[in-house]
Amino acid sequence: MIVITTPAGGIGRQVLDNVLDALDDDTAVRVIARDPGRLTGRARERAEVFQGSHADPRVLGDACAGAEQVFWLVPPAPGADSVEGHFRDFTLPLGEVIARQEVQRVVAVSTLGRGVAKDAGPVSASLDMDDRIAATGVHYRALCPPFLMENLLGQAAALRSTGEFRMAYPTDRVLRTCATADIAATAARLLLDGSWTGRADVPLVGPDDLTPGGMAEVMSEVLGRPVRARETTPEEYRASALRFGASEAGARGLADMASAMDSQGFYGSAAPRIPKTAPTGFRRWCEETLRPAVLA
């Protein structure tokens, strides 16, 4: 039995689709969803739905009863009072479930930066999450992407109206990227494989060698209009997050992450490209995902 968290989210939805595509109708799949109405009709028909949050020990325990494999993703919460506390509030119940039930394997979305990232807001919190889960003794795979291409979708309106996107990162330095489809494909493959053991990171780094300025050139070609990347500071990023409703702690965490990305380089050119696990290139992603969003 497989349990999938965040089944209506950008990554979890794709994981669920991939798993359902591969399984026969006799294999049990469970999902934990705050709002089951956001699930696809196929998901509601095919999976057993547990309504609630996977930070709720009761909901998580019920969903994981008798399950062998769990897909784990801590949802973003920019309004949380503490970035570290938000991750801890989700991870501690998972540890309790693992300790008393039959969960054998956990596949979680984490990040690049192990051994490098320090004081990096949600990046550091993700890496701490890995250590907490692995300490339970469960077989564990941490999926480790760098900057997600889908993060740029939040600027589709700005691209449409001004031809500009902003990044709190130097526009002339390589920024490694990954498409969420590649994360989901790898997660599904691991969830369907009952043979792996132990703990390991799975880096997911796309095939490109682009700076944000280079991304702007690709966007210009795909969108058929001029696009430019504007560099902002971490403090400007913090102020923008506050305007959009983030808590002070959430906004500070994002600013700390941006500062660490710049100064520590864990999403930069030192991270090797791994097209085997992350084959989607930035141009292809722009053609298939960004262009329809901008032109909608």
pLDDT in tens, 220-277: 999 999 999 999 999 999 999 999 999 999 999 999 999 999 999 999 999 999 999 9
Q: What is the crossing angle of helices 248-264 and 83-100, to 10°?
A: 90
| Sequence letter at residue 73 | L
Residue with token string 């930069």: 268
* 105-134: average pLDDT: 97
Q: What percentage of residues in the chain have a pLDDT greater than 90?
A: 96
* 36-65: average pLDDT: 95
Distance CA 2, CA 189 (A): 12
Distance CA 216, CA 169 (A): 14
Distance CA 182, CA 146 (A): 12
* Confidence band, pLDDT 50/70/90 cuts, at residue 27: confident
Structure token pair of residue 286:
């722009």
* C-alpha torsion angle, residues 283, 146, 4, 21 (rounded to 10): 30
| Sequence letter at residue 128 | D
* Confidence band, pLDDT 50/70/90 cuts, at residue 26: low
* Confidence band, pLDDT 50/70/90 cuts, at residue 23: confident
Q: DSSP string of 32-95?
A: EES-GGGS-HHHHHHSEEEES-TTSHHHHHHHHTT-SEEEE-PPP-TT-S-HHHHHHHHHHHHH
Q: What is the pLDDT of residue 10?
A: 96
Given a cut of 70, is residue 217 above it in pLDDT? Answer: yes
Q: How many CB atoms lie within 10 A of CB 186?
A: 23
Long-range pairs for 172-175: beta carbons < 8 A, 24 or more residues apart: 172/211, 172/213, 173/211, 173/268, 173/269, 174/209, 174/210, 174/211, 174/268, 174/269, 175/146, 175/147, 175/210, 175/211, 175/212, 175/215, 175/267, 175/268
* Confidence band, pLDDT 50/70/90 cuts, at residue 127: very high
> With contact defined as beta carbons under 8 Å apart, do 293 and 153 qualify?
yes
pLDDT in tens, 76-116: 999 999 999 999 999 999 999 999 888 999 999 999 999 99
pLDDT in tens, 158-168: 999 999 999 99
Q: What is the pLDDT of residue 101?
A: 84
Mean pLDDT of the chain, nearest integer: 96
Q: What is the pLDDT of residue 296?
A: 87
* 55-61: average pLDDT: 96
Q: Which residues pair with 29 in a beta bridge?
A: 2
Closest by Cα among 47, 118, 52, 124 to 83: 124
Residue 70 to residues 25, 83, 168, 199, 253: CA-CA distances in angstroms? 19, 23, 34, 15, 27
Going along the chain from its start, the domains and CATH numbers come out as 2-145+179-203 (3.40.50.720)
Distance CA 103, CA 7 (A): 19
Distance CA 118, CA 113 (A): 9
Strands 69-72 and 2-5: parallel
> With contact defined as beta carbons under 8 Å apart, do 217 and 282 qualify?
no
